[in-house]
Amino acid sequence: MKERWSPARVATGVMMTAWAALFWFLVLSGRELLYVSTRTKWVVPTGAVILTTAALGRLWSARTEEPEPTGKREAWILGLMMVPVVTVLVLPPASLGTYAVSRRSSFLRAGLAANPADITSGPLTLIDIASSPVTALGQKALQQKAGDKVSFVGIVAIYPDTSADEFYLTRFVVTCCVADATVAQVRVVGVTPGRFKNGDWVQVDGDFYPLGDEMLVAASSVKTVPQPHNPYLTP
Amino acid sequence: MSTGSTIERRTAEQIAPWRVLATVLGALVLLAVALRLVDPVRFAWSSNFLLVFNALLIEATPFILLGALVSSAIEVFMSPRAFEVLGRMPRRLQLPAAALAGVAFPVCECGSVPVARRLAARGLAPGAAITFMLAAPVANPIVIASTFVAYKGQSILWTMVLGRILLGLIVAMCAGWVVSLQTKGQLLRPRPDDTLEANREHSERRWREYFGHVGNDFVFMERFLILGAAVAAAVQTFAPQSFINPVAITPVVSQLAMMGLAFLLSLCSESDAFVAASFVQFGVSSQLAFLVFGPMVDTKLSALYIGTYGGAFFRTILITVAAVTLVGTLWIEVLFG
């Protein structure tokens, strides 16, 4: 019996090819860090290779003696499965912003505590500050750093009850992918009122002071900076 | 005249599916143009939704495909006799042996249902076949790897990985023990298409059949992942912390809520850890309840169970798995919470 192209198999092969193209696009454009952490970005090139292999295999096996029928419903389901691919390829790149801050847990709640030895031995990071209050040892390590010069990059978050000369410098901490992002924040005081708005990327230089549970930076300089290539921190 | 009209009808039947596919592709092009014009990234909520939605898919899709590649290889290339050694074991050893066999074989929950049926039909004790069916999707190597990747870097990493394996095996063996009270005749529904499948297996070349299975499995599972990712993204975009936190910190309620969510989302076990890890408001035990209960009982499996084993079997599995998972995760809450 003569072999013919099976519409169902071709359609599935095209859908898998579209997904493979998405993964290659992320690898080549470097945009994978908008979605996954540095820890798990290996998944993207791996996915590109196995999706390409599976898509080629599916298309190779698409000629058959008994082509399966394709219903309208199946065709539209395959179409819907390509919608995520279209959204990533067509829309401009974006990262989590201040809208997500109110809908995310703080970094503390995720049970990720920094090692007190790391805090005392090296320069302070936003992750150290956000996670250390979870343990007494962490709090003690932060107390030893009182008055240290710090320099952090993050986005500006201003709440309704935030004073005019303050904001919260915010960074999202991503362990696996953006879906598990948690919020690391430090209060910045001594800012020129009205100069910055929610969502601005800034670099804050100043002195660090732990005041009980509140961590703050007395700013000596705050300047606008472009969004970093990797907008998220990895614990 | 009649021959001519028959040829025309056949040609029309052959062209119709291609027309539908062309329409779908056209709709996707229109969608791309519309998205470019509207640019939903301008709106904070839609930008947030799309980021979380796409991130979950990008992280989990390779694991779905990996699962499809391996389970299709088992389906096409592995002899059913590989499992017959289980059937020759003493009955009292069959349950733990079947659970451990589940750890070794990377079969997802949808793939494990027909495999378990085939095992029972070939003489394995029904309880052992069901233990394998429930254990394989929770504790197979690909699921363990994806759980490891999802929780890597967190202090709860090993609690989640080992807790999922151990609790999964315990729940599977308990359910297998309950089902072992039934005979094979009570458990299995006759399937008239068994012969058809066997014939088809011989009529196609194996590699073509293999990639056919891979494509079908991928399409079947990926659609549920897309649905699950959409629900998870919607929760993270629209549900305020003030609503989620009271549920997340109330014992029993939080575990039941996550089990209910797992049932509704029907995620593939090879990708569900990424979704579970995104519910950072919920504690270790609630996330484990999601990861153990979901691969054993969910909406898509309900249909498969009822179709394969009948409604009474489904009710037995639902009650047993829910009860043992709840008790097990509450113990974990006491020990590690």
Main-chain dihedrals φ then ψ at residue A30, nearest 5 degrees: 75, 10
Is residue A108 domain-shared with residue A189, that is, in the same domain?
yes
Q: Does A232 map to a domain?
A: no
Is residue A78 domain-shared with residue A129, that is, in the same domain?
no
Q: Does A109 map to a domain?
A: yes
Q: Which of A93, A114, A133 is the last residue of a domain?
A: A93
Chain B contact present for A17, CB below 8 A: no
Which residue from B minimizes the CA distance to A65?
A: B204
Distance CA A82, CA B181 (A): 46
CB pairs under 8 A between A and B: 217
Inspect the interface and report whether the beta carbons of B277 and A179 lie closer than 8 Å.
yes
**Which residue would you say has higher pLDDT here, A12 or B79?**
A12
pLDDT in tens, A18-27: 999 999 999 9
pLDDT of residue B186: 67
Distances (CA, A) of A230 to A77, B220, B233, B322: 34, 34, 21, 41
- What domain range is A131 assigned to? 99-224
A149-157 and A201-211: which strand pairing? Answer: antiparallel
Please list every residue in chain A whose beta carbon sits closer than 8 Å to the beta carbon of residue B37.
none
Distances (CA, A) of A175 to A161, A207, B231: 30, 28, 21
Chain B contact present for A159, CB below 8 A: no
pLDDT in tens, A62-115: 887 777 777 888 899 999 999 999 999 999 999 998 888 877 766 654 444 556
Inspect the interface and report whether the beta carbons of A7 and B226 lie closer than 8 Å.
no
Chain A contact present for B280, CB below 8 A: yes
pLDDT of residue A51: 97
Res. A137 pLDDT band, cuts 50 70 90: confident
pLDDT of residue B6: 61
Is residue A82 domain-shared with residue A143, that is, in the same domain?
no
Chain A contact present for B15, CB below 8 A: no
Main-chain dihedrals φ then ψ at residue A183, nearest 5 degrees: -105, 130
pTM of full prediction above 0.90: no
ipTM of the complex: 0.92
Residue type, B269: S
Please list every residue in chain A whose beta carbon sits closer than 8 Å to the beta carbon of residue B214.
54, 57-58
User: In DSSP terms, which residues pair with A222 in a beta bridge?
Assistant: A204
- The mean per-residue pLDDT over the stretch A129-142 comes to 72
Q: Quick count: other Cβ atoms within 10 Å of Cβ A45?
A: 16
Chain A contact present for B311, CB below 8 A: no
Q: Quick count: other Cβ atoms within 10 Å of Cβ A187?
A: 17
pLDDT of residue B1: 45
DSSP letters spanning B19-76? HHHHHHHHHHHHHHHHHHHH-GGGSHHHHHHHHHHHHHHHHHHHHHHHHHHHHHHHHH
Is residue A110 domain-shared with residue A155, that is, in the same domain?
yes
pLDDT of residue A27: 96
Per-position pLDDT tens, chain B of length 337:
455 566 566 565 666 678 888 999 999 999 999 999 998 888 989 999 999 999 989 988 888 888 788 778 877 887 766 666 777 777 778 888 888 888 877 777 766 776 777 677 767 788 888 998 899 989 888 899 989 988 887 788 999 999 999 999 999 999 999 988 777 666 666 544 444 444 445 555 788 888 988 898 888 778 887 887 888 788 888 877 777 778 888 889 999 999 998 888 777 787 789 888 878 778 899 999 999 999 999 877 787 788 778 888 889 999 999 999 999 999 998 887 6
Main-chain dihedrals φ then ψ at residue A190, nearest 5 degrees: 80, 35
User: Comparing A132-136, A179-183, B38-42, which segment has the lowest mean pLDDT?
Assistant: A132-136
pLDDT of residue B41: 85
- d(CA A25, nearest CA chain B) in Å: 12
Instruction: For residue A176, give the nearest of B27, B204, B277 by CB distance.
Output: B277
Sheet strands (E) in A158-213: 166-173, 182-189, 201-211
Residues B130, B135, B139: CA angle, nearest 5 degrees = 170
Counted domains in chain A: 2
CATH number at residue A151: 2.40.50.200
pLDDT at A124 over 60: yes
pLDDT of residue A90: 95
Is residue A126 domain-shared with residue A24, that is, in the same domain?
no
pLDDT of residue B198: 44
Q: Quick count: other Cβ atoms within 10 Å of Cβ B246?
A: 11
- d(CA A62, nearest CA chain B) in Å: 8
Is residue A14 domain-shared with residue A41, that is, in the same domain?
yes
Is residue A125 domain-shared with residue A56, that is, in the same domain?
no
Of B140, B90, B91, the closest CA to residue B112 belongs to B140
Chain A contact present for B204, CB below 8 A: yes
Chain B contact present for A235, CB below 8 A: yes
